Chains A and B, each alone.
Chain A
Amino acid sequence: MKYWRVPLDMEEIEVSRGIVHIVEERCKGCGYCIEYCPRDVLEFSPKYNARGYHPPRVKRPEACVNCHYCETICPDFAIYSVEAPPDADPAA
């Protein structure tokens, strides 16, 4: 991420990290989470769910800061994020 101004305590701030969970069978493929994720974590999955929609999939797991925006914009209760444990490998 590019900062216009770098905070003085930049080194000390711990940016929270999140893990995205997708409840694929609930998804209707509106793409809101993908479009409005501030960290561009998500993309459309090429696969179909049981109802014929393309759910999102995680493209950049390491970028998620657990802001929950995907969770709040999702009209279908199909995505949410949880805080990653401090030692977790986000790519795992």
Chain B
Amino acid sequence: MKPAVLTGEHFITGDVACAEGALAAGCRFFAGYPITPATEIAEHMASRLPHVCGTFIQMEDEIAAMAAVLGASNAGVKSMTATSGPGFSLIMENLGLGICTETPCVVVNVQRAGPSTGLPTLGAQGDMMQARWGSHGHYEIITLAPSSPQELFYQTITAFNMSETYRLPVLIMTDEVTGHLSERVVIPEPGAIQLQTRPVPKGRKDRFKPFQPGPNGVAPMGIAGGGYGLHVTGLTHDERGYPCMNPETQAEMLDRLTGKIRRNLKDILLTESYRLDDADIALVSYGVSSRSSLAAVDEARQAGIKAGLLRLITVWPFPEERIRELSRKVKCLVTVEINLGQIHLEVQRCSEGRIPVCLVGHAGGTVISPDTIVDRLKGLLQSLHA
């Protein structure tokens, strides 16, 4: 029997690091379906969960996997699934159920190039808008974008913590390159890992209202078998959890679902700045592209271009204020991502036309090289001076 937290130094892939992060975060239920390039997460969970009294099940499709994850979480167990492009599309249905029923869980998307079957073995960042709006209806969601195996380990823990704290599915949007990249990953002592658990109801069980928000906007969560006589539904429901088919209840419910995120942005939004203090041009990037961007900033600086990088760790909710602020400071914003402009649209929106916003991106299948970015920056500088 191996312990849940494999403290020490490892040389492992991002997929494996993600699985280890989940175990360290207390995940004890994984339901999944094989799909390149996320399969290794399922495989690793399948071999590791039996060691920690957890349960692994390979379901008949990703729809079922997501449903099982929600069922397990409602039974009180931290749960996760991992998938890629086509599977992510199937997950969307029950992702909505997870949002509506405020069920904590983590969904990993190891992105590959699409649309459709696309390039199963090659990376992209083309599902970023699907992560934001892929399930129907209006909602808020938390999405993290790790850029290395080490980060996949830590951000998976963060994702579980946020999902438990705010009671919703949290997405980890990584990509084929990071998922398959082997790097040094340091796993700390269990005591050094901070874990959050969902808010627990207090007071009389018969008076408990399962969707009545607490002080931070999040309702304490009752679990199946806990003696609360819960009713949980994907229909529009009131604080008792009862279906109520009217615009007022719909407005109240959406206010709860979005409010618990919008009111806690300070704790949810994670970004990292690199050499932005005196920058003329700010790169905005996330995931594997932020690694290229980081190298490009140094290269550009050597070439005399005052570049900096804002790395988004939390992509959704979008760090609007940070971009707005940046657009008042620098002369130009450059979004770097492996698609033809998704987060780019958000950067444009938040810069509010103050400065030019450019995209360095392509259709997917390979990473963006730092040289491509630097060349683009050089061209930009010329046009800015012209």
Indicate yes or no for A touching B, C-beta below 8 A. no
